[in-house]
């Protein structure tokens, strides 16, 4: 028994369960020494197609897939034949033979949207099943590469990345350690410390410094990401607002005029923000929803740390989707460096001829946006015959309409009715008829479910979002060394109890005549150059704002940026005619004939041992915190929150068990069988499993069971914090 993958781990287990159905046929004598194989790959989560390939020992094969509609049940369909040429076949076979000795299970750090691959390889009597989540062993990676060379573009297998180091990402001691995985589906990941969706209490870099929450350390240079930032969480004043921020990069429909493209992008921002305005938790804490929206030119690569949204003009809302990375709403919110993506619709073109976007379109956008905040659907499948509506059973595993009709035919509620005349329905969950996450776009007015607001605010109270802005000045404690000006928008999310460290913050030297900052030296935060009440400092603010605008990636250095800064801080004129420098100065409206008398500050907190907040002449007191920062608080107590169980496929001796806990603790699982007597069901234990170590968040386990005959069962999870029970009915 082993915890597998992240929130989307269920599908993989189901996929492995169907592999047997596709196993290659018996080998003839000539090819008996050649391997047969079945390889599957995809992303954890039910929203993308899984691709697979079956290869027989004779070199004949089949390309297979599991479409999104079939992901729940993992039912494969045949896409077409797979006939690699001789040299490709030789490479595939060599790789398959080598993979017979690869580790059976390779689990990388679990993360949403993680890639995985599985392979069943048989050669004579030797058989090996490999499963890799997030990270693949080299033998499996080589096999996938060999297969991809021979597969058409539409059937390429997903290659889980190698160990983190191999893709140039180093695990760090911050909330992102463990979830840095290759980006997928046309999105670009966030730098450590940032997330495309965050729910947090905001605090400026200056206030965080004043409250002793950050330490800014010189890395030994200037003009690039030369400041290391360490930070920790502390509680802010009661009822400080919580901000839900979501970054959306929107690609408007093809063929629109630039004006109409901008109307789409701005229309989404304003209509969603206005619908999500004025939210308050039950205790009165405001929840502010900010859409940080940017327009994407399809010719440009995706921006780092933005959810990618493509907008179409289809009149049918069914083409709308949101593939979001899933926030854990029951446990601590952990920022996710992987943005999501989606397809949204304007629901036709009538908005172009007047009246703006329809309420319905805006309500659906709001529904989709809330998915990116981690909210789930609040509606469910049901079947209606005449006036009778019956929800699908919780553990329904219908594959097609015949399955539904077979179930409906034996439902008492439909007795005497012609189930063949029935219709599939998606009603709102009870009490969610006007919830954006229910079917509200069909039944306006819509509102946000109060429980969801409370959950978001509770999650946000455990996070700080520290923001450094272009123009923030960092004074070097050593007066002989350079102070720096921030040339980027810097975000660092800090979770309760988890100190963060990032390398780093992009800043430019503002004292050309001083020494380069020595590594290990500390800075204090003066705040915005533009707030210093000095013309030279205002010019510096304009230059740093322009540098930040021209930055192409979060840690990138802007060409010419350092000389443009020195033009206004130190009257450095040598670059006045050099293209990139001049273009920054022109865009910042700097008069290159001017001479500046910009001040060079000495840090008033030079003697202070920590990073603090300063004015140009004094150390500023702390202001924001309710309680002074002390040692990191003890981790939240464990609480076993939820247990779900389902049989992976009828007749198979495997259960998928999902357990949510708020922290780490051990749990013991038992499987019980019910006996019904005199209208009462009593349970008796039929299997007890080895204790399992739960981690905070969603744990997905698979349990082997004896053959289960039809009847009532339950799984009991017992931990120190609580005991939870989940029922299961085995049919047929």
Rounded distance between C-alpha atoms, residue 559 and residue 372, angstroms: 35
Smallest gap from residue 459 Cβ to Zn ion (A): 20
- Please say which residue, 185 or 583, places its beta carbon nearer to Zn ion: 185
The window from 275-283, 377-385, 507-515, 585-593 that contacts Zn ion (CB under 5 A) reads: 377-385
The window from 27-35, 369-377, 631-639, 706-714 that contacts Zn ion (CB under 5 A) reads: 369-377
Category of 533 on φ-ψ map: left (φ > 0), alpha (ψ -120 to 50) or beta: left
Smallest gap from residue 700 Cβ to Zn ion (A): 22
Smallest gap from residue 375 Cβ to Zn ion (A): 9
- Please say which residue, 260 or 377, places its beta carbon nearer to Zn ion: 377
Rounded distance between C-alpha atoms, residue 118 and residue 39, angstroms: 6
Build a one-symbol-per-residue string for 93-132: x at contacts with Zn ion by CB under 5 A, - elsewhere. ----------------------------------------
CA 425 to chain centre: 30
Build a one-symbol-per-residue string for 327-366: x at contacts with Zn ion by CB under 5 A, - elsewhere. ----------------------------------------
Residues linked to residue 507 through DSSP beta bridges, in sequence order: 224, 486
The window from 146-154, 227-235, 371-379, 560-568 that contacts Zn ion (CB under 5 A) reads: 371-379
Build a one-symbol-per-residue string for 233-272: x at contacts with Zn ion by CB under 5 A, - elsewhere. ----------------------------------------
Return the residues of window 403-462 that contact Zn ion according to CB under 5 A.
none
Give the H/E segment covering residue 244: strand 242-251
- Please say which residue, 377 or 395, places its beta carbon nearer to Zn ion: 377
| Residue 530 CB neighbours (<10 A) | 18
Smallest gap from residue 314 Cβ to Zn ion (A): 16
- Please say which residue, 62 or 324, places its beta carbon nearer to Zn ion: 324
Of 314, 319, 431, give the one whose Cα is nearest residue 378.
Answer: 431
Q: Binding residues for Zn ion, how many (CB under 5 A)?
A: 1
- Please say which residue, 382 or 722, places its beta carbon nearer to Zn ion: 382
Residue with the shortest CB distance to Zn ion:
377
Give the H/E segment covering residue 345: strand 341-345
- Please say which residue, 233 or 379, places its beta carbon nearer to Zn ion: 379
- Please say which residue, 377 or 572, places its beta carbon nearer to Zn ion: 377
Smallest gap from residue 364 Cβ to Zn ion (A): 9
- Please say which residue, 21 or 69, places its beta carbon nearer to Zn ion: 69
- Secondary structure of residue 268 in the 3-state scheme: helix
Smallest gap from residue 296 Cβ to Zn ion (A): 23
The window from 354-362, 372-380, 418-426, 658-666 that contacts Zn ion (CB under 5 A) reads: 372-380
- Please say which residue, 377 or 433, places its beta carbon nearer to Zn ion: 377
DSSP assignments along 417-479, one per residue: S-GGG-EEE-PBPTT-TTBTTTTGGGS-S-B--HHHHHHHHHHHTTEEEEEE-TTEEEEESST
The window from 43-51, 257-265, 374-382, 529-537 that contacts Zn ion (CB under 5 A) reads: 374-382
The window from 16-24, 46-54, 375-383, 463-471 that contacts Zn ion (CB under 5 A) reads: 375-383
- Please say which residue, 174 or 368, places its beta carbon nearer to Zn ion: 368
Rounded distance between C-alpha atoms, residue 314 and residue 200, angstroms: 35
- Please say which residue, 377 or 531, places its beta carbon nearer to Zn ion: 377
Smallest gap from residue 203 Cβ to Zn ion (A): 33
Smallest gap from residue 439 Cβ to Zn ion (A): 10
The window from 303-311, 376-384, 698-706, 712-720 that contacts Zn ion (CB under 5 A) reads: 376-384
- Please say which residue, 357 or 372, places its beta carbon nearer to Zn ion: 372
φ, ψ dihedrals at 458, nearest 5° = -60, -40
Query: Contact at 8 Å (CB) between 323 and 48?
Result: yes
Smallest gap from residue 370 Cβ to Zn ion (A): 8
- Please say which residue, 320 or 328, places its beta carbon nearer to Zn ion: 320
Query: Contact at 8 Å (CB) between 231 and 499?
Result: yes
- Secondary structure of residue 163 in the 3-state scheme: coil
DSSP assignments along 551-597, one per residue: --STTPPPTTHHHHHHHHHS---TTTTSHHHHHHHHHTT--TT----
Smallest gap from residue 367 Cβ to Zn ion (A): 6
DSSP assignments along 36-97, one per residue: EEEEEEEESSTTS-EEEEEE-TTS-EEEEEE-GGGTTTT--EEEEEE---HHHHHHHHHHHH
Rounded distance between C-alpha atoms, residue 612 and residue 701, angstroms: 47
The residue assigned the tokens 């399809």 is 298
Angstrom CA distances, 328 to 100, 332, 378, 597, stand at 37, 7, 16, 53
Query: Contact at 8 Å (CB) between 732 and 710?
Result: yes
Smallest gap from residue 718 Cβ to Zn ion (A): 35
The window from 48-56, 152-160, 373-381, 382-390 that contacts Zn ion (CB under 5 A) reads: 373-381
Query: Contact at 8 Å (CB) between 226 and 219?
Result: yes
Smallest gap from residue 343 Cβ to Zn ion (A): 12
Smallest gap from residue 349 Cβ to Zn ion (A): 24
- What does R_g of the chain's alpha carbons equal in angstroms? 29
Residues found near Zn ion in the complex (CB under 5 A): 377
């Amino acid at each position: 028994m082993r915890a597998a993958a992240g929130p989307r781990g269920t599908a993989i287990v189901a996929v492995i369960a169907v592999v047997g159905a596709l196993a290659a046929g018996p080998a003839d004598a000539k090819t008996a020494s050649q391997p047969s194989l079945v390889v599957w790959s995809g992303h954890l989560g039910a929203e993308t197609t899984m691709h697979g390939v079956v290869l027989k020992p004779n070199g004949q094969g089949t390309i297979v897939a599991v479409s999104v509609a079939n992901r729940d049940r993992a039912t494969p369909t045949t896409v077409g034949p797979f006939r690699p040429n001789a040299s490709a076949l030789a490479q595939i076979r060599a790789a398959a033979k080598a993979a017979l000795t690869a580790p059976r299970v390779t689990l990388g750090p679990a993360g949403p949207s993680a890639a995985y691959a599985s392979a069943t390889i048989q050669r004579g009597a030797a058989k090996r099943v490999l499963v890799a989540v997030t990270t693949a062993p080299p033998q499996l990676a080589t096999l996938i590469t060999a297969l991809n060379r021979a597969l058409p573009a539409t059937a390429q297998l997903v290659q889980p990345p190698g160990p983190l180091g191999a893709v140039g990402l180093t695990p760090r001691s911050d909330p992102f350690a463990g979830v840095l995985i290759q980006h997928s589906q046309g999105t670009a990941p966030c730098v450590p410390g940032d997330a495309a969706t965050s729910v947090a209490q905001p605090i400026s870099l200056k206030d965080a410094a004043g409250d002793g929450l950050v330490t800014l350390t010189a890395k030994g240079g200037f003009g690039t990401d030369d400041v290391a930032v360490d930070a920790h969480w502390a509680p802010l004043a009661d009822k400080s607002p919580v901000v839900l921020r979501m970054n959306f990069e929107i690609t408007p429909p093809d063929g629109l005029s630039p004006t109409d493209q901008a109307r789409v992008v701005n229309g989404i921002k304003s209509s969603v923000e206005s619908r999500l305005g004025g939210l308050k938790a039950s205790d009165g804490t405001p929840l502010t929803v900010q859409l940080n929206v940017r327009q994407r030119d399809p010719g440009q690569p995706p921006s780092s740390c933005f959810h990618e949204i493509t907008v179409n003009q289809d009149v049918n809302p069914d083409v709308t989707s949101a593939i979001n990375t899933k926030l854990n709403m029951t446990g601590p919110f952990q920022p996710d460096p992987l943005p999501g993506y989606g397809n949204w619709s304007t629901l036709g073109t009538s908005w172009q001829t007047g009246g703006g976007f329809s309420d319905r379109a805006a309500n659906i956008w709001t529904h989709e946006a809330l998915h990116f905040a981690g909210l789930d659907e609040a509606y469910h499948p049901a079947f209606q015959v005449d006036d009778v509506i019956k929800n699908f059973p919780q553990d329904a595993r219908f594959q097609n309409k015949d399955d539904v009709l077979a179930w409906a035919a034996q439902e008492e509620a439909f007795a005497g009715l012609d189930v063949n005349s029935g219709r599939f329905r998606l009603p709102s969950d009870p009490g969610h008829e006007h919830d954006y996450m229910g079917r509200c776009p069909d039944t306006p007015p819509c509102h946000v479910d109060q429980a969801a607001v409370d959950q978001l605010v509770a999650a946000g109270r455990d996070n700080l979002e520290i923001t450094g802005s272009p123009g923030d000045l960092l004074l070097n404690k050593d007066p002989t060394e350079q102070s720096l000006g921030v040339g980027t928008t810097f975000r660092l999310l800090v979770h309760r109890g988890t100190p963060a460290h990032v390398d780093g913050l992009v800043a430019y030297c503002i004292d050309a005549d001083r020494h380069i900052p020595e590594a290990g030296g500390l800075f204090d935060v003066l705040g915005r150059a533009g707030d210093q009440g000095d013309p030279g400092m205002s010019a510096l603010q304009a230059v740093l704002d322009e540098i930040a605008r021209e930055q192409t990636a979060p840690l990138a250095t802007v060409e010419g940026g350092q000389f443009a800064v020195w033009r206004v801080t130190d009257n450095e004129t040598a670059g006045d005619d050099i293209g990139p420098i001049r273009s920054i100065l022109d865009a910042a409206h700097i008069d290159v004939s001017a001479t500046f008398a910009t001040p060079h500050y000495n840090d008033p907190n030079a003697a202070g041992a920590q990073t603090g907040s300063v004015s140009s002449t004094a150390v500023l007191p702390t202001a924001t915190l309710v309680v002074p920062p002390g040692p990191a608080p003890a981790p939240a107590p464990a609480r076993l929150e939820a247990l779900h169980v389902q049989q992976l496929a009828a007749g198979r001796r495997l259960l998928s068990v999902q357990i949510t806990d708020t922290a780490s603790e051990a749990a013991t699982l038992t499987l019980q069988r019910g006996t019904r007597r005199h209208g009462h069901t009593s349970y008796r234990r039929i299997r007890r499993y080895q204790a399992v170590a739960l981690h905070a968040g969603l744990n997905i386990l698979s349990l082997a069971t004896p053959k289960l005959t039809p009847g009532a069962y339950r799984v009991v999870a017992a931990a120190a914090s609580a005991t939870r029970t989940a029922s299961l009915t085995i049919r047929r």
